[in-house]
């Protein structure tokens, strides 16, 4: 399961909901901020002016964008005309465009170029943006007009997409407190501003611990077990950190997981593991435990104010699952089989260690190291050997090839467009010779960049006022090689295909209104297109073309590929258990939080993991103090389960592809037409039924994981 971030600021995502504002023309001005809020122009359908961006210009653009948006909202709310779709809902879709563009820059830079100046701006502006969003939601005259259109939608002669848009606006506003009285709205606004500040503090604390702690190795003998590619990357990282001649492993997943997999030095594995899992939990000024406790309390107060028992009930009510219990039922259905599989995997590791005479009891910092030994013994498969066939650039080319074969999209690299960092490359996307959008790729780790991998949506597709093509990006944290191509692990390659699936969701959007375009779908549906895209990576047709040896250029041998395929369900117990532990914790702590009490997130972690029987050899994939999915914004809070829910959809849909042929053009077209292109213009359960011909069969998930 991979982290993913949509391009909406964590301070305003929940507040603004579907209020996506993709493009208002402004009169040309001389102020620097005008470059950030005016329509993106130029060749290739227009593009963001990254060469004009700095913290000062972003702040000014946000302030001017809010000023313009206030005037637009006042005009919509204040008109004496009878509320209609055109003068209310469509007008809202066409408002706030300047602010949206400013926020795009704000969000891009706080996630990818978050130096001290940007962090200061983030701290200052997050509560202001939150308050601005509340001002829109709490505009009584505006909400009255939205409600009037909603109440009359059945007899207004609207298209299905327009009806869906009306319903989304009404639901977004009511869920955010538009119907509350003045006193309660004032309380809600205060809660949202406090939460916005806490989310910023949490993410900045996490970033600080990722950048402040690192594992430095001074003698080459201590690199025992590490492949040459890792050694070169660590040497390059050391030089970048002013420690030339040494080897540095940074406190990021892309650096630590490979180290834990291959380092033969158990003491160093434990040191690196503890550094990694203790981010935000070191008792320093960047400790996140008190931040989490306050977030939980404020979220519960907000949920009660909005008429929900808990924050979990408020969150899940807006997802496909509808209730926390439904989400828990799916998680617990998988927990037992996954736990039994994980325990068997641990026993296999212990047997390997005993046979080798290592004289140890497997601990959490040993898991990846001995798991790799079990893989080699069971399947005669060396991941380092596989890695030599997985060049970052070739995997990217494989993504392009699959996208063209499935959906007719072609990618061509562009030079000369402004970017926010030299590592970023830009590609024009076309279909049948016509522009379909732009794709930005930002693959490497650096200071000020959030860890993990994610997709951003810079500009949303629409055909409302003009035919606007989407602009999306994929972002990762691969470690640059000291020399030669960057080699990535099998899991890293799967992650690339996952995040590219989100990009394809945005690029294939084909709707009229931006509010229902692209990835603007239910949270437990949005991971469906990304997770199914992972399944094309292991296909022989793709690997034979793009899994090419770094030295010889020869394709991966059939014998090695057969071993890879046999091992694909290997370690499913560990992967499922570490994810479910995080997802169960997320749901349970949000169900347990009270409006006037405090919860110690660390103590709750211990009790929750003991209750469900998490083996000591496995920790949560994201421990609480670094669980940015749920504590750096409302995005995945009480919703980390959505990856599993989407995986149930994925497993069932992929069985259809397997039955018809995974590259079957008719099935790919149906997936494009019924799933990728419709955004939120069609309810997700209905979209799935159109594609699959029935509701989801969750037993397919058990079969996919090898638990049935």
| Contact predicate 628/622, CB 8 Å | yes
- Cα separation, 176 vs 505, whole angstroms: 27
- Counting beta carbons within 10 angstroms of the beta carbon of residue 470, is it exposed (0 to 12), middle (13 to 18) or buried (19 or more)? buried
- Cα separation, 293 vs 71, whole angstroms: 38
End-to-end CA distance of the chain: 21
Phi first, then psi, for residue 441 (nearest 5°) are -125, 120
| Contact predicate 536/402, CB 8 Å | yes
DSSP-assigned letter for residue 43: S
| Contact predicate 488/285, CB 8 Å | no
| Contact predicate 651/703, CB 8 Å | yes
Residues near 18 by beta carbon (within 8 Å), at least 6 away in sequence: 165, 168, 169, 172, 515, 516, 520, 680
- Cα separation, 312 vs 333, whole angstroms: 19
Give catalytic residues, as residue numbers. 499
Question: Tokens 């560990």 belong to which residue?
Answer: 574
| Contact predicate 177/137, CB 8 Å | yes
- Cα separation, 121 vs 153, whole angstroms: 42
Question: Tokens 């996506």 belong to which residue?
Answer: 20
* SS3 track for 181-225: CHHHHHHHHHHHHHHHHHHHHHHHHHHHHHHHCEEEECCHHHHCC
């Amino acid at each position: 399961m991979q982290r993913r971030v949509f391009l909406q600021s964590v301070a305003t995502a929940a507040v603004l909901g579907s209020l996506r504002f993709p493009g208002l023309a402004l009169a040309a001005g001389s102020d620097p901020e005008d470059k950030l809020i005016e329509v993106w122009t130029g060749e290739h359908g227009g593009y963001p002016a990254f060469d004009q961006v700095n913290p000062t210009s972003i702040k000014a653009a946000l302030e001017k964008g809010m000023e313009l948006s206030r005037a637009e909202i006042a005009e919509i709310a204040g008109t004496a005309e009878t509320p209609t779709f055109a003068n209310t809902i469509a007008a809202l879709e066409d408002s706030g465009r300047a602010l949206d563009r400013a926020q795009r820059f704000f969000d891009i830079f706080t996630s990818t170029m978050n130096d001290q100046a940007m962090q200061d701006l983030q701290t200052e502006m997050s509560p202001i943006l939150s308050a601005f969003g509340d001002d829109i939601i709490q505009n009584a005259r505006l909400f009255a007009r939205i409600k009037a259109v909603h109440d009359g939608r059945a007899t207004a002669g609207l298209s299905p997409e327009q009806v869906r848009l009306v319903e989304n606006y009404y639901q977004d506003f009511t869920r955010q407190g538009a119907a509350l009285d003045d006193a309660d709205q004032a309380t809600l606004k205060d809660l949202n501003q406090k939460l916005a500040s806490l989310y910023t503090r949490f993410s900045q604390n996490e970033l600080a611990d990722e950048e402040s702690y690192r594992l430095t190795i001074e003698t080459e003998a201590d690199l025992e077990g590490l492949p040459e590619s890792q050694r070169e990357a660590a040497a390059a990282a050391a030089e970048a950190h002013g420690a030339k001649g040494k080897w540095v492993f940074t406190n990021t997943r892309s650096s630590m997981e490979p180290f834990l997999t291959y380092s033969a030095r158990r003491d160093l594995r434990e040191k690196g593991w503890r550094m990694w899992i203790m981010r935000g939990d070191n008792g320093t000024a960047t400790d996140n435990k008190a931040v989490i406790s306050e977030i939980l309390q404020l979220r519960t107060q907000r949920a009660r104010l909005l008429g929900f028992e808990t924050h979990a009930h408020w969150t899940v009510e807006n997802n496909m699952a509808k209730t926390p219990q439904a989400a828990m039922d799916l998680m617990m259905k998988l927990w037992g089989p996954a736990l039994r599989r994980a325990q068997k995997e641990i026993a296999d590791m212990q047997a390997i260690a005993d046979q080798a005479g290592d004289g140890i009891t497997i601990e959490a910092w040993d898991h990846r190291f001995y798991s790799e030994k079990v893989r080699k013994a069971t399947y005669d498969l060396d991941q380092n050997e596989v890695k030599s066939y997985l060049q970052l650039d070739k995997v990217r080319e494989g993504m392009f090839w699959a996208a063209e074969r499935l959906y007719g999209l072609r990618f061509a690299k562009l030079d000369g467009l402004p970017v926010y960092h030299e590592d970023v490359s830009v590609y024009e996307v076309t279909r049948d010779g016509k522009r379909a959008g732009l794709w930005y790729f930002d693959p490497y780790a650096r200071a000020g960049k959030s860890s993990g991998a994610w997709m951003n949506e810079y500009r949303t597709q629409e055909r409302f006022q003009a035919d606007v093509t989407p602009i999306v990006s994929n972002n990762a944290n691969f470690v640059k090689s000291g020399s030669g191509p960057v080699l990535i692990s099998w899991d890293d390659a799967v992650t690339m295909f996952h995040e590219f699936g989100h990009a394809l969701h945005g690029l294939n959007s084909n709707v009229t209104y931006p509010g229902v375009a692209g990835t603007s779908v239910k949270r437990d549906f949005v991971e469906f297109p990304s997770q199914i895209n992972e399944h094309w990576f292991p296909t022989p047709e793709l690997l034979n073309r793009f899994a090419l040896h770094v030295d010889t250029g020869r394709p991966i041998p059939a014998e090695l590929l057969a071993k890879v395929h046999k091992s694909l369900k290997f370690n499913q117990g560990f992967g499922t258990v570490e994810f479910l532990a995080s997802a169960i914790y997320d749901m349970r702590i949000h169900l347990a939080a009270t409006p006037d009490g405090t919860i110690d997130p660390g103590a709750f972690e211990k009790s929750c993991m003991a209750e469900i029987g998490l083996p000591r050899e496995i920790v949560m994939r994201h421990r609480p103090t670094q669980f940015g999915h749920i504590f750096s914004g409302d995005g995945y809070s009480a919703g980390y389960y959505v990856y599993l829910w989407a995986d149930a959809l994925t497993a069932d849909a992929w069985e259809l592809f397997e039955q018809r042929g995974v590259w079957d053009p008719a099935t790919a077209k149906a997936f494009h037409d019924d799933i990728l292109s419709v955004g939120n213009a069609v309810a997700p359960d209905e979209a799935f039924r159109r594609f699959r011909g029935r509701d989801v069969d969750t037993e397919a998930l058990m079969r996919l994981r090898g638990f049935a």
